[in-house]
Structure 1
Amino acid sequence: MNPKTKLGAVAVMAVATLITPAAVSSTSASADIAASALSADPPAYSPPDAEARNRAVTTANATIAMRSEALLKGQNEKFTLIANISGAQGLQYLTYARTYRGLPVFGGEVIVSTDRAGELVGSVSSGQQSRITVDVTSKVDAAAATATARAQVSTVESVSTPRLLVHAATTTPKLAWEVVVTGANGETPSVLHVFVDALDGSIVDSYDEVRAGTGNSYYNGNPVTIQTSGSGSSYSMTDTTRPGLRCGGQGGTAYTGTDDAWGTGSGTNLETACVDALYAAQTEWNMLRNWLGRNGFNGSGGAFPARVGLSAVNAYWTGSYTNFGRNQANNRQATSMDVVGHEYGHAVFQYSGATVSNTTEAGGLNESTGDIFGALTEHYANQPATLDPPDYLVGEEVNLVGAGEIRNMYNPAALGDPNCYTSPFNYEVHAGAGPQNHWFYLLAEGTNPVGKPASPVCSGPSTLTGIGIQKAGQIFQAGLNSKTSPWTHPKARKATVAAAKALFSGCVEVNAVKAAWSAVNVPLQSGEATCP
């Protein structure tokens, strides 16, 4: 089995951690698990007040009206605000959906970022590449589109009602039916969005909400404290302080008990797996808030359930919950810190910016996103060497298929993955995580960090100085908040350069972002922010 096939673009990391019996309590949340790891920088989580949010809407509306020509807006198109989330230092990101003659436009979203006060525009981004001039009369009926979509999934459980829209994520907008098929391809679950050309019945595009993945297995130490709920003789592995977060078996119901002590400490015990999953998810939630200024996995204060006991050497983000299996040796569950961090990192990707097409390049960037959030969670927890110390290896302790780590972020080529970006980008999505993983390490740590592995460069200066993982994470998340379809390495460069300029005064961080991208062969982009 090739371990590279076990890390998905949106939900790639799962990690197993063992605890002793009666070691887990819900008497206190893990909100301060890594307080000692925080820097002296201003607090990242400082959301704008209602007045500032209203100003941001006014500013964004005016900006879109003023830039309608550049945004390729025609007279038959309208924009509607669908999301307004805040990020580090209260920067605001407003997402607008586009309609054409009343039909939704996939790929036509516009994202406007403002400062915390909602007065100054930081960036305006849209994935649409051409004006829309399509006829909205379909020549292929909904039933035919449904049959085409169903054929893309081997075992079908349900099919959505087809939705007529304009697909504008490619160079030529097309009228299309969107059909969502839920089921499985072999052992891999699928929630596949299929776009069927409404004129000739061909498949225009597709993307799957499910991303397959694997990760680390390591012990979090005993005892650990997790947030559960209940009282008296009735308790549940449900975290009411993080809406939507709970853990249980494959049926989706949270585990319950007569006391608030969970797990046996065995690597094969599923209640123990839920302890690890909750501990890691709660740690990641805190990291998102305290380091990156994000309110929950979805950016709006929401979380997603976790399931354990998946009968597979794998783990998944399904688009609505995480699902964790086991390693090949069947002696531990795949619920370690960085694996759980990876899977929920895919949720962050899904709920940041616009929905993107499932190209191989976007898949690699999505897979890398999971790795980056796994590393961020490990560094925030900052566990000692006797547990799971922070590093930039993926899956080394779970030993998923007996081959050690499955990815190396500081030198992807050590495992046969590309260190450097090339265009066209035609790598398998798991290998395709390499260039952005490499970029993130160079940005956070540099080429020769003290006490950490050296990292090569693909081109340019041989020595780079890192800015620290917290700043790198803030810049990365802010870049994701401006994500549009199609999502590419050059667009990620442009978005993260703009993010660095918005987040930090001076030019140190901006120039570090530029240098790290250049070091992995992603070149300077037209319209890229400059500093000074």
Structure 2
Amino acid sequence: MSATAQAGPVPAPQAQAAQQRATLIALANGQSVQLAKALTLGGQEQLVAKDAVVDADGARHLRYERTLGGLPVLGGDLIVHQRADGSVTSVDKAVEGQLSLPSLTPALSADKATAQAAGAVAATVGVAADKDEQPLKEVGRAGSAKLVVWAASGSPRLAYQTVVEGLRADGTPSRQTLVTDAASGEVLATHEDIQTASGTGKGVFVGSVPLTTTLSGSTYQLKDATRGGQYTTDLKHKTSGTGTLYTDADNAWGDGTVSNGQSAAVDAQYGVAATWDYYKNTFGRNGIKNNGVGAYSRVHYGNNYVNAFWDDSCFCMTYGDGASNTHPLTALDVAGHEMSHGVTAATAGLNYSGESGGLNEATSDIFGTMVEWYANLPSDVPDYLIGEKININGNGTPLRYMDKPSKDGGSADYWSSTVGNKDVHYSSGVANHFFYLLSEGSGAKTINGVSYNSPTSNGSTLTGIGRTKAAAIWYRALTVYMTSTTNYKAARTATLKAATDLYGASSTEYNAVAAAWSGVNVS
């Protein structure tokens, strides 16, 4: 397999895009005091701008985090929607009402809170929360506890946020963020920051593809200056560090075989590029964080490591080589899925538990699938199957199905009052099913040689609006309306707002969104 240096699609100048974003954030921060008063927030509350979206007609969507007495409020985020003249049309809040606490002085010291958080994680060593999660093998460093206000559960509580590092049984690094009560030490929430997609692969997936590389002296680097400087490194079976940047003398990378270490690097580099291009050319998003900075990839992680993961702290993708170090997990939808976790973190920040966690996972499935359709590779024909190339089950079946999620044996086809109790990889089935129904409709059909048969909870017959429109609605809902605590009911509202913005309140698309949600029992 060979790849040549090509210019590829030329993005908008990065410096200009960064300046535009900085201007929007400054605009949002400039209005924070005025908006806090208009929203009748409490006297100790302030707003800090996180992101801003401006529509073609000048309408603004300003995303803020809240602080209380200078402390960050977890679950206090909100989005202010304005007309072009700055007048407010509506506000979406993760939590309603004013926030106040009788005291901002913790009963527990930060050192005590850190020790208790580390102890809570240590108590889970050897225990897997579900059949798909590797148990924690060891606990490492615990960062200093940070005083915060926890509001995601409703009434605000003074709390500590602590990050505890560790290692899982299969070699996956663990970075758990715990929120604990500042008076009792009770664990209020815990979240694994390392997002994984487990499976086994068989060889190189992308086939022969073009790559944009960098010539340094007489040597080519697997580094793409046209897409935020993204690059790929070789970890050489280590489990830490940034790895060694791939270089080559003739700019022809890999040969499609597992024995040639560059072949997995080609998959990884192409996966990042395809994800960048999808978001850039479809939504005008300039990189995962919309700041023009490209993610990097690490291949050949560990030994016999049957996994791949996105880590927001290093802003990087990491791939293991699978069983016997001969099955790299570098499939395209794995790359698109994992890096879309970064997009979610930079926008709605959906909490990775309960229904919001299912929506977080589904968002990655949706956009990982869309990256696959965007690339349209002959070696990886697009479909509505998740992880079909990595053969995680050993029998050729995919990891997840979007047309009828329950075919994987654990995912939910429809919403119920208990769906939030499922592991997020299974509660995601409701949104995945919604997306398929919205895109393709219900019933039996064959698409790109794959047979689907998608039912509805209410027996209705649905007609799809196409995946392009469905993805546009989901992206706008994610970036403009969803907050950290969005659940399925709120996701319905967010996508209906998005459909109204894009296509009109009485449009076919709006009605299709409503019908698709009803088809998965969200009404």
2:216 aligned with 1:223? no
- Two-structure CA RMSD over aligned residues (Å): 3.0
**1:238 is aligned to 2:193:** no
Counterpart Cα distance in 1 of 2:59 and 2:329: 35
Matched with 2:166 is 183
> Could you tell me which residue of structure 2 aligns to residue 446 of structure 1?
441
Matches of 1:434 and 1:63, distance apart in 2: 41
The match for 2:472 among 471, 474, 491 is 474
Q: Structure 1 CA distance, aligned partners of 2:338 and 2:498?
A: 24
Q: Distance in 2 between matches of 1:362 and 1:68?
A: 25
**Counterpart in 1 of 2:150?**
167
Residue in 1 that maps onto 2:258: 267
Which runs of 5 or more residues in structure 2 are unaligned?
A: 12-16, 126-137, 236-240
Q: Aligned AA for 1:274?
A: A
Answer yes or no: is the 8 Å Cα contact 1:378–1:390 preserved in 2: yes
Which of 358, 362, 365 is the matching residue for 1:364?
358
Alignment of 1:308-457 (within 5 A): 308-310=299-301, 311=303, 312-319=305-312, 320-328=315-323, 330-353=325-348, 355-384=349-378, 387-403=379-395, 404-416=397-409, 417-424=411-418, 425-448=420-443, 451-452=446-447, 453-457=451-455
How far did 1:257 drift?
2.5
Measured in 1, the distance between the counterparts of 2:85 and 2:321 equals 46
SS in 1 for 2:383: coil
2:32 touches 2:48 (CA, 8 Å); kept in 1? no
Shift of 1:120: 6.7
TM superposition shift of 1:112? 2.4
Shifted more, 336-345 versus 503-512: the winner is 503-512
For residue 434 of structure 1, what is the amino acid of its counterpart? G
Q: After TM superposition, give the deviation of residue 56 of structure 1 in Å.
A: 6.8
How many Å apart are 1:93 and its aligned residue? 3.5
Q: Quote how far apart the aligned CAs of 1:54 are.
A: 8.4
Question: For residues 55 and 212 of structure 1, do their structure 2 counterparts lie closer, same or farther at Cα, with a shift above 3 Å needed?
Answer: closer
Q: Is the contact between residue 357 and residue 485 of structure 1 (CA under 8 Å) also seen in structure 2?
A: yes
Query: Which of 252, 260, 266 is the equivalent residue of 2:242?
Result: 252
Note closer, same or farther for the CA distance 1:489–1:238 as it changes in structure 2 (3 Å cut). Answer: same
Determine if contact 2:194/2:309 at 8 Å carries over to the other structure: yes
What code does the residue aligned with 1:392 have?
Answer: Y
In 1, distance between residues paired with 2:212 and 2:177? 35
Cα deviation per residue 1:230-253 (whole Å; 9 max; x = unaligned)?
244222212222225211123323
Report the secondary structure of 1:347's partner residue.
helix
Give the aligned partner of residue 28 of structure 1: 7
Query: Contact 1:217/1:335 (CA < 8 Å) preserved in 2?
Result: no
CA contact (8 A) 2:206 2:380 kept: no
Partner SS, residue 254 of structure 2? coil
Equivalent pairs, count: 482
Q: Give 3-state SS (helix, strand or coil) of 1:175's partner.
A: strand
Residue 30 and residue 225 in structure 1: after superposition, are their counterparts in 2 closer, same or farther (change >3 A)?
A: farther
From 176, 180, 198, the equivalent of 1:196 is 180
Bigger relative CO (Cα 8 Å, ≥ 6 apart): 1
Deviation at 1:164, TM superposition (A): 0.9
Equivalent of 2:268, from 268, 277, 293? 277
Q: Give distance in 2, aligned partners of 1:130 and 1:119.
A: 23
How far residue 88 of structure 1 moved from its aligned partner, in angstroms, is: 8.9
Q: Secondary structure at the match of 1:194?
A: strand
C-alpha distance 88-189 of structure 1, shift in aligned 2 (>3 A): farther
Shift of 1:132: 2.4
Q: What secondary structure sits across from 1:277 in the alignment?
A: helix
Instruction: Give per-residue Cα distances to partners, 1:420-453, cap 9 Å, x unaligned.
Output: 0111321122222211110011111111486434
Q: Deviations over 1:98-128 (max 9, x none)?
A: 111121111111122456x575756521112
* Percent identity between the two aligned chains: 34
Q: Distance in 2 between matches of 1:105 and 1:173?
A: 9
d(CA) in 1 for partners of 2:324, 2:387 = 14
TM-score normalised by the chain length of structure 2: 0.84
| TM-score, scaled to structure 1 | 0.82
Q: Please list every run of 5 or more consecutive structure 1 residues that lacks an aligned counterpart in the other structure.
A: 1-19, 33-45, 524-532
Distance of aligned partners of 1:211 and 1:447 in 2 relative to their CA distance in 1, 3 Å threshold: same
Deviation of the 1:341 alpha carbon = 0.9
Write the distance in 1 (CA, Å) between the matches of 2:195 and 2:29. Answer: 37
